[in-house]
Structure 1
Amino acid sequence: MPRDESLDGFAACGLGGCPRSAGQARRFVRATLTSWALPSLVPDMTLVVSELVTNAVQHALSPSSAPPSSPSSSPPPEHPVWLGLFRYPGVVVCAVSDPSPEPPRPRDAGDAAGSGRGLALVGALSESWSWDRAPVRGKTVWATLSLPGDSA
């Protein structure tokens, strides 16, 4: 079960890094935005977060992205992926952190492709998105959505 930490305008959720993580993230976003009285952001934010978490699980946690293990290496963390929601004046920011330093790579998906459109969706639904390397390990990919009307 993800761990939730909430303050006024901030909420975080640890995710296990499995295929079910995107569903857990969507439920967390829905509950958090509803508690912040922002239900109109739920559809777009749940899609953005779902895409970012899915990318983290599929690409950042894949066996090919893991560093070589050594006999003294520690076990994998309980929550290799973290989701944070931040409410600022005028915007809500979602941030997904994972252990891979590799940047997100937007792709040109063909008409018949079954995947490869996630970051294009994130770009279309958000005001902005980008990523930063984490100070110690991994990266954080973030996206901002504007608050509706005069809620700021």
Structure 2
Amino acid sequence: MSVSSSTTAGPGLCSLGVEPGTDRASGSASSNGLLWNQDTGPAGFAACGLDGQLRNAPQARDFVADTLSGWALDSLVTDAALVVSELVTNAVQHAVDPAAPGIGDYPVWLGIFLHPGDLVCAVTDPSSIPPRPHEAAEDALVGRGLALISALSDTWSWELTPPRGKTVWAALPLPPHGPDTA
């Protein structure tokens, strides 16, 4: 099953076994540069390369929604989309320096995969600086991302990713009944 999306917000590479520049479903050229296909990789794994811009958060949400729908896990879409949106936003705001040499076209990578009992959402970025939870003021418009991730996931953590950077991940419990049935 190939999954298509209505995402049109700029460049990104969301793919498993799809050549860059080809359409997700038909293999033709894609005009928005955002590609993915959940059929060509290992069962229960999908990855998405992002260009490190703020527009990547909605791209990540769409990627997760389409992927989980394809995996019959629609009941996880809302929480997983919020978690990856926060993970990607943190990576873009705090870890990507556009002026840094050698970050490449896709400095942020989102991976989602099924692990026994969990859906794991992981974002890799080029910075080795760990995420730092903090208390946001009541009237603050930012600063609650890690608290949201903590509230929605069973656990979250981070680790260094050689040769540089880190991966921040969160595990959301799978529904006890397995994939959603219609």
When the two structures are superposed, what TM-score results if normalisation uses the length of structure 2?
0.75
Q: What is aligned with 2:7?
A: none
C-alpha deviation, 1:91, in angstroms: 0.6
Q: How many residue pairs are counted as aligned between the two chains?
A: 144
Match of 1:30 among 43, 46, 65: 65
How far does the alpha carbon of each residue in 1:40-89 deviate from its partner, in whole angstroms, 9 at most, with x for none? 000000000000000000000146xx76xxxxx54x31100000001022
Matched residue of 2:62: which SS?
Answer: helix
Counterpart position of 1:83: 110
Q: 1:15 maps to what in 2?
A: 50
Unaligned runs of 5+ in 2: 1-11, 17-40
- 1:35 deviation in Å? 0.6
Could you say which residue in structure 2 is the equivalent of 1:60?
Answer: 95
Cα distance in 2, alignment partners of residues 83 and 11 from structure 1: 8
Q: Among the aligned pairs, what percent are the same residue?
A: 58
Tell me the residue number matched to 1:3.
14
Deviations 1:97-138 (A, max 9, x none): 000000001110010111000000000000000000002110
The offset of 1:151, in angstroms, is: 1.1
- What secondary structure is seen at the aligned counterpart in 2 of 1:83? strand
2:176 paired with 1:149: yes
Amino acid at match of 2:162: P
Higher strand share: 1
SS at match of 1:17: coil
- 1:50 and 2:85 matched: yes
**2-structure distance, mates of 1:25, 1:44:** 13
- Which consecutive unaligned segments of at least 5 residues does structure 1 have? 68-72
| Structure 2 residue 167 is matched with structure 1 residue 140 | yes
Q: Which of structures 1 and 2 has the larger relative contact order (alpha carbons within 8 angstroms, sep 6+)?
A: 1
Which structure 2 residues correspond to residues 69-80 of structure 1 after superposition, within 5 A?
A: 73-74=101-102, 76-80=103-107
TM-score, normalising length: structure 1: 0.90
Across the aligned residues of Structure 1 and Structure 2, the Cα RMSD in angstroms comes to 1.5
Amino acid at match of 1:130: S
**2 CA distance for matches of 1:130 and 1:89?**
18
Q: Aligned AA for 1:127?
A: D
- Paired residue for 1:127, among 149, 154, 167? 154
Quick one: distance in 2 between partners of 1:104 and 1:127? 17
Q: Stretches of 4+ moved more than 4 A in 1?
A: none
In the TM superposition, what is the alpha-carbon distance from 1:150 to its structure 2 partner? 2.5
